[in-house]
Structure 1
Amino acid sequence: MHFRAASADPAGPADPAGPAGPSGPDRAAAYPADGPVAALGADRVREEFAAHRLRPEWTWFAEDEDGEPLARALWWGRADSERPVALDCLQVRAGVADPAALAAGLLEAGHAAFGTVPGYHLSLPRDWRADPALAAAVAWRREAARTAGLTRETERLRYEWTPAAGTAAPTGRLVFREGTDEEFLEVFARLSRGSLDLNTRSELATMTEEEFARADFAFYLDCPGERAWWRLAHLPDGTLAGMAIPSATPYHRNVGYLGVVPEQRGRGLIDEVLAEITRFHAAAGAERITATTDTVNLPMAAAFDRAGYEVTEIRLVLEAPPVA
């Protein structure tokens, strides 16, 4: 058994059935996108390579002794990423006796080459547990991910807004304004207190509020959205209530980050903050706004429901635990 990145494939004829030819993207696109877990098809693979979000050195295959590909792993990153951000697609051919073991070896080979352990994001239908074939396909992927060090698991709801849902008019309950970096750092720290977000709670077990705030600030600053979009939220008397960070992905507008400070929670103000983000993106002509929240974060999920966002999928996120 060999584990090989597409960039390391030997030159040869571009035969999808045999060892890879000179084009890593060609080989990645030729791998069949089959099985119950949604996988990237040939056209999408080529689009992502063209956009530099998939790369030969982030595309790995498990091969038998004859060079026949038995598994494919596609790690994804933004066009300017130095290292992959997440594992986007993991497949093992039907008939492999132990798909979890093969997939784990493939992931470990990739991690060793990258010098990092990117998370694995599986996009699933909301009722995926009711489909035996799909549940079994998820099970061996989870086992492989755990073996490769991705032992922290979070299930998230992926929401989507379209113009048909409309936008809520401002009520005057909150006033939004721009803020300095220092002000946003302070609010990031305050919002982490008592958060229901599982990643926030996990990270705070190994870092201070201030460290976490700086990490979150840097993350959203690095997203495709613009820093000029960010807003602080205040009550009409000037009391800080929270913040709204409209953001974006490489594909569409995104809710980003929003929250209400602990002392103002329970008053329905999260609806006002979400409405501000939705209006902002809608005014810019967004045809789609996406958002995610943990399945256990019931108040946030309810706010998305009230705002007309609809659940489009479950996102199962498998990650390495934070390092103490």
Structure 2
Amino acid sequence: MRFRPATADPADLDRAVAYPADGPVPALTAERIREELAGNRFRPEWIWFAEDEDGEVLARALWWGRPDSEQPIALDCLQVRASVAAPAALAAGLLAAGHAAFGGLPLYNLSLPRDWRTDPAMADAVAWRQKAAYESGLTTEIERLRYEWTPAAGSPAEPSGRLVFREGTDEEFLEAFMRLSAGSLDLHTQTELQSMDAEQLARDDIEFYRDCPGERSWWRLAELPDGTLAGLAVPSATPYHRNVGYLGVVPEQRGQGLIDEILAEITRFHAAEGAERITATTDTVNAPMAAAFDRAGYEVTEIRLVLESPAR
């Protein structure tokens, strides 16, 4: 078996696009793959094949990154031919080869329908992907709800006056990010705080959102009318849609429904800019945040299974 990137043959990109999408796990369309290649979010060196001794492609992996990324950020698509008897072993070898070339372990985003566990074929297809990811070093698993708001949900709630939103300095946002991490139900935050302090995590979060397509000028501090910090709102964007980004309430103000006010502010901001779709994600275990999205008219469109290295 040979594992290689799509860089050796001019026809490799056509082979990657034409690879048959067999199996129940949703695969990217040929049109979407071409769009990602044109946008420099897929690259030949990030597309890997597993070939047998006759040159037949038995597996394909597509890693994704931002247009300016030096290395891929996430595995977007992993497929093995249905004829392969041990798909997990083949996929693990393919991922290991890619990871070795990248010098790191990009996470794996697996997008699934909400009822994937009740479909035996789907559950089996997810299971071998989970095993392959685990064997290649992606041993931390987080299940997330992917939400979406569209104008069909109705106009965002009007400001109630309970909170005042204003621009803030970098130092103020650093302090706010640090305070919000205390007691967070977000699994990524909990995991990161096991290996770093709140200030380093806050700096990493700020750098991440600065690198997103959204603008720093969109960010807002949320305060009570007397100026007391209540939380923050970070409207953001992906390469495809406007996005909720980051939001939260400081520990001492939680439990009063203020998260609804902050989410409404982000939704109003994007809607006022003409957004036809606003996406968001939250962990399935973060029931308060999921409930806030439900109340705000956001709808779950898919489950996102995130597999990553514990060292991320």
Per the normalisation by structure 2, the TM-score is: 0.99
Partner of 1:43, secondary structure, is: helix
| In structure 2, distance between residues paired with 1:85 and 1:170 | 37
Please tell me the residue identity of whatever aligns with 1:110.
G
Contact 1:60–1:72 at 8 Å: present in 2 too? Answer: yes
| In structure 1, distance between residues paired with 2:260 and 2:145 | 18
| In structure 1, distance between residues paired with 2:257 and 2:142 | 26
| In structure 1, distance between residues paired with 2:6 and 2:259 | 46
Tell me by how many angstroms 1:33 deviates.
1.7
Please tell me the residue identity of whatever aligns with 2:50.
A
Where does residue 108 of structure 2 map in the other structure?
Answer: 120
Tell me by how many angstroms 1:25 deviates.
2.1
Where does residue 154 of structure 1 map in the other structure?
Answer: 142
Where does residue 47 of structure 1 map in the other structure?
Answer: 35
| In structure 2, distance between residues paired with 1:169 and 1:81 | 38
Residues 108-163 of structure 1 show CA distances to partners (whole Å, capped at 9, x for unaligned) of 00000000100000000111000000000000000000000000000000000000
Where does residue 169 of structure 1 map in the other structure?
Answer: 158
Where does residue 261 of structure 2 map in the other structure?
Answer: 272
Where does residue 57 of structure 2 map in the other structure?
Answer: 69
| In structure 2, distance between residues paired with 1:227 and 1:307 | 24
Tell me by how many angstroms 1:30 deviates.
1.2
User: In terms of mean alpha carbon deviation, does 53-62 or 33-42 score higher?
Assistant: 33-42
| In structure 1, distance between residues paired with 2:160 and 2:311 | 40
Where does residue 128 of structure 2 map in the other structure?
Answer: 140
Residues 230-269 of structure 1 show CA distances to partners (whole Å, capped at 9, x for unaligned) of 0000000111000000000000000000000000000000
Please tell me the residue identity of whatever aligns with 1:207.
M
| In structure 1, distance between residues paired with 2:171 and 2:305 | 34
| In structure 2, distance between residues paired with 1:82 and 1:172 | 44
Contact 1:32–1:41 at 8 Å: present in 2 too? Answer: no
Please, which of 235, 247, 257 is the counterpart of residue 258 of structure 1? Answer: 247
Tell me by how many angstroms 1:172 deviates.
0.4
Partner of 2:279, secondary structure, is: strand
Counting matched residue pairs gives: 311
Please, which of 212, 216, 235 is the counterpart of residue 201 of structure 2? Answer: 212
Q: Which runs of 5+ in 1 are unaligned?
A: 12-21
Partner of 2:23, secondary structure, is: coil
Tell me by how many angstroms 1:35 deviates.
1.1
Contact 1:38–1:123 at 8 Å: present in 2 too? Answer: yes
Contact 1:247–1:256 at 8 Å: present in 2 too? Answer: yes
Partner of 1:263, secondary structure, is: helix
Please tell me the residue identity of whatever aligns with 1:310.
E
Contact 2:22–2:82 at 8 Å: present in 1 too? Answer: no
| Ranges of 4+ aligned residues in structure 1 off by more than 4 Å | none
Per the normalisation by structure 1, the TM-score is: 0.95
Please, which of 260, 273, 296 is the counterpart of residue 284 of structure 1? Answer: 273
| In structure 2, distance between residues paired with 1:24 and 1:240 | 54
Where does residue 2 of structure 1 map in the other structure?
Answer: 2
The residue correspondences of 1:213-232 to structure 2 (distance < 5 A) are 213-232=202-221
Q: What's the RMSD between the two structures over aligned residues?
A: 0.7
Partner of 1:38, secondary structure, is: coil
Q: Percent same amino acid at aligned positions?
A: 78
Partner of 2:89, secondary structure, is: helix
Please tell me the residue identity of whatever aligns with 2:199.
E
Partner of 1:303, secondary structure, is: helix
Q: Which runs of 5+ in 2 are unaligned?
A: none
Where does residue 173 of structure 2 map in the other structure?
Answer: 184
Contact 1:25–1:46 at 8 Å: present in 2 too? Answer: no
Cα distance change of structure 1 residues 48 and 238 upon mapping to structure 2, 3 Å threshold: same
Where does residue 90 of structure 2 map in the other structure?
Answer: 102
Tell me by how many angstroms 1:34 deviates.
2.2
| In structure 1, distance between residues paired with 2:22 and 2:38 | 22
Contact 2:49–2:94 at 8 Å: present in 1 too? Answer: yes
Partner of 1:255, secondary structure, is: strand
Where does residue 35 of structure 1 map in the other structure?
Answer: 23
| In structure 2, distance between residues paired with 1:44 and 1:300 | 31
Contact 1:108–1:148 at 8 Å: present in 2 too? Answer: yes
